[in-house]
Structures are given as structure tokens and as C-alpha cells.
Structure 1
Amino acid sequence: MSVVATSHHGPALIAAAARTARAAPAGAGVEFRLLGPVAVHDGAGGRDITPPGSKQRALLASFVTQAGVLLGVDRLAAELWDGAPPANAANALQAHVARLRRLLPEAGGDGHEWIRTLPTGYLLDLGKARTDVQRFARRSREGRAALAANPARAAELLCSAVELWRGPALQGCRTGPICEAEAERLDEMRLTSLEALHEANLRCERHGESIGELERLTADHPLRERFYDLLMVALYRSGRQTEALGVYERARRRLVGALGIEPGPALRGRLDAILAHSPALSAAPAPALLEELDRLRHRVTELGRVQHELSRRIDAVTAPES
């Protein structure tokens, strides 16, 4: 005999559970992931779902990239078949959508469905689900906003943003125009976040820790001047001026060889500052550190006052009577 049958509370518990399930926000606990291989994380089921076919992955990536936007059949067909869809593209697309629907986790909520079919196409409704792109963008934005006032906090936020990446954006799904444009946008956001991260590290006097990673970034992105700039500062602050000057020459050779242009004014200005041993190249104390030092100075002053008062009282108590 089952537990439910032997307990008079059973029906009430089942009804309450059903009401809770119905009240659960549609899509809660689900995260669509584009920062690497395209996948869906089902928090309730504790599993990651990766569509097995390349076209289903591209279809999912297109839906997530354009969540809440109606995507017409022709546009999706061009995305999946690289601009050369088959004659029966509408039927083939319908079959791919049906397979994708079966892969997605239960959405929860009353009647919510992830992919809605409309007269002229399809639309992904995220409900309360989130995306790793949203998390990355929020952390990156908050980190860059904190850079001037609190570089240590900025570095923490930016590091956590970059760590969300599991590989190239929309990995394996970058052939169609929708996914390619989104991948390029996300790649640029990642590089901007990395630049801000290493600037925060330099403001926190972590120049020695940054050199190796900045060397790799200049090799991976040889035309991005900001990484050379940061590397030159890190080397100079580590007492390696000659190597810092060599980084400028390396950047110049690459830019002239690939684009036929000289380094921009920011990098040229950095070269001049290093040659002149500009005081501006020294690591400035972080604002948070200055605030802490000011607080400690006030505390030392207060302790001195208290000590003086205690000494006066002790002297008054121990002084011989006249």
C-alpha cells in the first residue's frame, strides 16, 4: 500500500504540489548558453542539453540571439542552409523546430511554450529563463563601472565575467548571418572586458601577474593596440624597460606589415612616457586604499588622544600629595 493511500494528508499534499508547480515562473532555473558550445542548462533536472545536430544548434542559437523577436521562415532557412535552402525549406525547418522542442526542458507555468509558431515564422519566449550572455554583460558592465573607484572589486567582477566563457562564442554555429553577427559582437565584448580586467589588475599593482597573460593576448590579437599598451606598462613597472620598448617595436612591425599603418597616438604616447620615465607610469594608490589609509590615520590620531588622556589620569592618581 502506498504512503499516499495510508495518509489522510496525501490528497492535500498532492494538490498543494500541483498548485506550486502551476505557480512556478515559466522557464525558472533554465539558462540558455552561447558563450562556447550552444547548450541549455536545466537547473531543475541538473543536466546540460546539447542539440545533437549542427542545424538544430544553429537554430537554437538563432532563437536565443533573437529571443522575443519573430524570425521569418526565409530568414531561418537562410541561416540553417547558408543562403541556399532546399526547395522544401519550410517543411524541413518545421521538422527541425519540432525536434528542438522535444529536446528543451519543461518550461513550467500555465501553458508556456518555449518556441511559439506564428503565421509567418517562429519566436522564442524566454519567460523567466536567463542566458549566460546576460550574466556576462551584467558583470562586465558593473566591473567597468567600478574600475576608477574600486579597481579590486572591478577585477573581481570582470574576472567572473570572463570565466563564464567555455570556448568561442556560438562555437560551431557561426556560418549564418544571425549567428555570425552575434558571435562577432560577443567576441568584441570579451576583448573589451579583458582590457578592463588587466587595467584593473595594473591599478591594483598586479603588474607581475599580468605579464604572461598580456603576452598571450598580444600574440592572439596582434592588431589590438590596447593589449600592447597594457603590456608595456606592466613590464615597465616590473623594472623591464628595455622589454617594454621592444613591445612597442613588435606592435609597430605587426601593424605596418598587416595594415600599412603606424601605431596610434595612445601607444606612441606610452612610448614617449617610458622613454621620459614619466611619473604617471607609477602605480597610483587605489581610491579604496587611500580611503583605508585615511581611516587608519584618523584611528591612530584617536588612539593617541586616548593614550594622552589615560596618561594624564594615571599621573593624577599616582602623583604624591603635597
Structure 2
Amino acid sequence: MRFCILGLVEVQDERSGLRVLPTGAKQRALLAALVVKAGHEISARRLIDELWGGHPPANAANALQIHVARLRRLLSGPAERDADQPERRPWIETTGHGYALRLSPAETDAARFQHLTDQGRRALLHDPGQAGELLGQALSLWRGPALQGSVLGDICADEATRLDEHRLAALEMRYDAYLRTGRHGEITGELVDLTLQHPTRERFYDLLMVALYRCGRQAEALAVYERARTRMRHELGVEPGPALRELMRRILHHDPALARTPGPRPADPSQPRATPAPADDAALSLGDEMARLHRRIERLQREQDQLLRCFRELTASAAQRDMSVNWEGS
């Protein structure tokens, strides 16, 4: 039995292939909250808040008991087929103040995802090819947004946010692994989509800029930086961070280290050595022109700020003089 929350909340019987999907938002939210807090008691009061928020029914405790009973019946079918572990049933246990799901973390797809992600992270430096495979397996467990259709209260909302952040981090590591194994030509389209889906996440811009540069597309890599800068100023009111600015500078000056695919393993002498495609003269001149325009825009912005300060000072001074004349005239 595996309890799945990386998508619609469901229970999978891995031996028979059957799937158990709770019907109704309250049933899904109840199962989701119990899975998120598996092995720990959740008080009845907190479960009521999770299911109904600030508008519980008059008989909230009884309504919760009815939902728990229905969920127990839903899980009893797969439980009865699992004759090897009769001591593990029932799944939902009544505690002193609430309920708990008798479930080990290893029985959830979220735990499997975290295990594979940790393995991929450890392999990234010494074996990026293996890291890419592990991270791909981890990400394949996702069937949709975490806890899809079950986020009614804080328990599930907080967990959905945490899991989504871990998914994005796993995506970043996987594309980093692909760059380390020379697969930059395969991933530019996917990274473009990710920068559009997550316009304030700098790491995706970083990875895309490196991939484009290694494909010999320097001007496009610099254009990605300008797009990132525009979006961040619009969305967050800030400039890109120092890491992205430094990458833009390195691309502009053709840092030789950027063209090399990092990786500790020596190349196989029997295989031809791949070299990055050189940027053509048009791309280089366009990149230089973009950099010149970028510096010009920054200089104009500084001059505009200075003029605005002078204008405010003159306005304030004129206002003080008017007040002085009016006072003397009175």
C-alpha cells in the first residue's frame, strides 16, 4: 500500500494495481491531512479547522466522526486484502484527543521522492549522469500539483508549499546535471518554459543562460538576462541577484570556464571530444551592442535620479520662500 499526495490524493494497492480515491473535498482533505502528519496525533479541533476553517457546522465533532468513519470504510477494502500485516489495521487510530494514521513515512510517494532527490544531490558532483537519472525518477512520481484538490486548511497548504519548493529544487539539480554531462542542446526549450512559469526564480534563468551560451547563442543568453531583469523589477521591485549579474558579465566577456562542461570524470580517449559551437560575428557584435545599451540605460537612470533630487530640493526651497513672504505680508 502506498499513500500518494504528489498530485490527487489517493491510495495505491501496489500488488493488485487498484487505486482508492476519496470522493468529496472533505474526504480528500481529511486523508491528506492524516498522510501529511502520518504517525502523529492530530487533534479533533485542528482537523475541524482543516476541513471547515472559520465556519464549522454546529455539530462539527459529530460531522468529523462521520467523515472519519467513511474514510475507514474506504481504506478497509485494501486493508482486508493485505493479510500479511493484520496487526497494522485499522489504518486510522482514535487517540486521546483526535486521530492518527498508522503509517510509516516510507509508505508515501513524497518520502520516495525525497529519498531519490537526496541520492541525486549526493551523486551530482561525482556522477552527474547518475544524478540526472535519479532526479528524473524522483520527478516522475509527480502526477500534478501536490495535494491537488485537498488544500482546505493550513496543514495541507503548508505541506503543498514545501513539496512544491522541493520539486523546483529537484528540477534545478536535474538541469544542472544535464549541463554537467554536455546535454545543453537538449534542454533550452524546457528551461525557457520554466522561466516563463516561474519568472522570479533566478536559478532557471542562470541555467538557461549557460545552456544557450554553450550552444553558441551568446546574444540570446544576454537577452535572457534582460528579460529576467525586467520581470524581477516588475514583479518584486528588485534587480537580479549578484550571481546572475556575475554570470551576465562572464558571458559578455566570453569567460573560457563557461564553455567547459564541469565534471570530475576524465573523457574517454576512444570517443571524439566535443567542443562548444563558436558564436558567430553577428552574435558577438549584437551582444556587445546590448551591453553598451545596458550601460547607457544605467547611466541615464542615475542622471534622472539626480535631476529628480535637484527638482525636489528646488521645489522645497521655493515653498519655504512663499511661506516666508506670506508670513511677512500678514
Matched residues in 2 for 1:50 and 1:217: separation? 30
Q: Give the aligned residue type for 1:78.
A: D
Residue of structure 2 equivalent to 1:175? 152
Q: Is the 8 A contact 2:3 2:107 kept in 1?
A: yes
* Shift in alpha-carbon separation, 1:103–1:270, aligned structure 2, 3 A: same
Q: Give the aligned residue type for 1:39.
A: E
- Pairs aligned (count): 264
1:32-59 per-position Cα deviation (integer Å, ceiling 9, x unaligned): 0000000000123320110011111100
Residue of structure 2 equivalent to 1:48? 19
Q: Give the aligned residue type for 1:116.
A: E
Matched, 1:141 2:118: yes
Q: Is the 8 A contact 1:70 1:122 kept in 2?
A: yes
Matched, 1:187 2:187: no
Q: 1:60 aligns with which of 31, 34, 39?
A: 31
Q: Give the aligned residue type for 1:147.
A: L
Q: Is the 8 A contact 1:34 1:133 kept in 2?
A: yes
TM-score, structure 2 as length reference: 0.77
Q: 2:224 aligns with which of 247, 258, 277?
A: 247
TM-score, structure 1 as length reference: 0.79
Q: Is the 8 A contact 1:151 1:203 kept in 2?
A: yes
Q: Is the 8 A contact 1:32 1:129 kept in 2?
A: no
- Report how far residue 174 of structure 1 moved: 1.6
* Shift in alpha-carbon separation, 1:243–1:156, aligned structure 2, 3 A: same
Q: Give the aligned residue type for 2:185.
A: G
Identity of aligned residues (%): 56
Show the 5 A alignment for 1:34-183.
34-104=5-75, 105-106=78-79, 108=83, 109-112=85-88, 113-126=90-103, 130-183=107-160
- Report how far residue 128 of structure 1 moved: 8.7
Q: Is the 8 A contact 2:6 2:110 kept in 1?
A: yes
Q: Give the aligned residue type for 1:169.
A: A
Matched residues in 2 for 1:119 and 1:66: separation? 16
Matched, 1:280 2:251: no
* Shift in alpha-carbon separation, 1:256–1:90, aligned structure 2, 3 A: same
Most deviating of 126-135 and 141-150: 126-135
Question: Which sections of structure 1, spanning at least 5 residues, go unmatched?
Answer: 1-29, 295-322
Matched residues in 2 for 1:188 and 1:47: separation? 30
Q: Is the 8 A contact 2:39 2:104 kept in 1?
A: no
Matched residues in 2 for 1:128 and 1:192: separation? 21
Matched residues in 1 for 2:139 and 2:66: separation? 36
Matched residues in 1 for 2:87 and 2:134: separation? 37
1:79-116 per-position Cα deviation (integer Å, ceiling 9, x unaligned): 01123211211110010011101111215424432000
Q: Give the aligned residue type for 2:4.
A: R
Matched residues in 2 for 1:125 and 1:288: separation? 45
- Report how far residue 209 of structure 1 moved: 0.6
